[in-house]
Structure 1
Amino acid sequence: MCQAQLVELQENFHLLEDIDADIYAISVDSASNHLRLKEAGEFTFSFLSDPEFVVIEEADMRNESVSHRGFSIIDGNGEVVYSHINDFFGDQIEETVEIIKEQF
């Protein structure tokens, strides 16, 4: 996970408050690594560990032995409705939020 992008997301989290959705950061990193990062950054959204690439592959976000940076929208039935690869989704938070709202 890119900590800089997650920090940008956290600092601009208010832009997503009007969306009726849960926000998660997902990667193949271990749960203990996620916990350390979450606590160090005081993130308010959840981190999920997917070392077997179950969700990552379903969202078509696998990049060999890691996941692509970006975001996906998964509906209430667990179906992936949209995925977007973008190494700078946090730096481009306004564009990211606009795409999410359009796809949501």
Structure 2
Amino acid sequence: MAEANGDAPDFTAPLANGDIDEFTLADELADGPVVLAFFPGAFTSVCTTEMCTFDDRLSKFDDIGADVYGISVDSPFALNEFRDQNDLSFGLISDIDKEIIDAYDVRMDFADLGVHGVAKRAVFVVGADGEITYEWVSDDPGVEPEYDEIAAAVDDTA
């Protein structure tokens, strides 16, 4: 289970970045801190707002030397379309096998809707040393994270 002040579970997964490439967390940490923003599903209202807000604030993270990645259980093909439709300039990681949401303990179900095994809305800041320095997890998919708090956590990590 992933938690603040613990080691971030490493993973390799498809990265939707206009193409489809392979993403490995350990490799990305060599460039500095990473923000992992888990979201339940592409093309939903709150998820779209959240990813667009991260994109709007991307320069803050770039200035600190941190990279932002969204993560959902959607296919990399759907995530590329989601990126294109919303003009997102950061990569989206496909956890189609649901291994990352399990490793970070952010799996949730909408049993009344018949939807099982999607990501909770959650944000982890991982330092270059692989340690989680910030964690925010919501059981309410309608709640967005505190973006300024995340930026401050990244600034403290960098």
TM-score bracket for this pair, using the shorter chain length: 0.7 to 0.9
Partner of 2:124: 72
TM-score of the pair, normalised by structure 1? 0.79
Structure 1, unaligned runs of 5 or more: none
Superposed, 1:8-87 pairs within 5 Å as: 8-64=53-109, 65-75=117-127, 79=130, 81=132, 82-86=134-138, 87=143
Q: Is the deviation greater in 40-49 or in 93-102?
A: 93-102
Residue 76 of structure 1, CA deviation: 5.0
- Residue 17 of structure 1 deviates from its aligned partner by 1.4
Where do 5+ consecutive residues of structure 2 fail to align? Answer: 1-40, 42-46, 110-116
Deviation at 1:80?
5.6
Offset, 1:26? 0.6
Q: Deviations over 1:19-74 (max 9, x none)?
A: 33332111101112101110011111001110222222222222241101121134
RMSD, matched Cα: 2.1
What residue number does 2:149 align with?
Answer: 95
Query: TM-score, structure 2 length as denominator?
Result: 0.55
The alignment covers a number of residue pairs equal to 101
Higher relative contact order (CA 8 A, sep 6+): 2
Give 1:95 shift. Answer: 2.1
SS at structure 1 position matched to 2:123: strand
Q: Verify the 8 A CA contact 1:72 1:83 in the aligned structure 2.
A: yes
Alignment partners' CA distance in 2, 1:100 and 1:74? 8
Question: Which amino acid in the other structure matches residue 69 of structure 1?
Answer: R
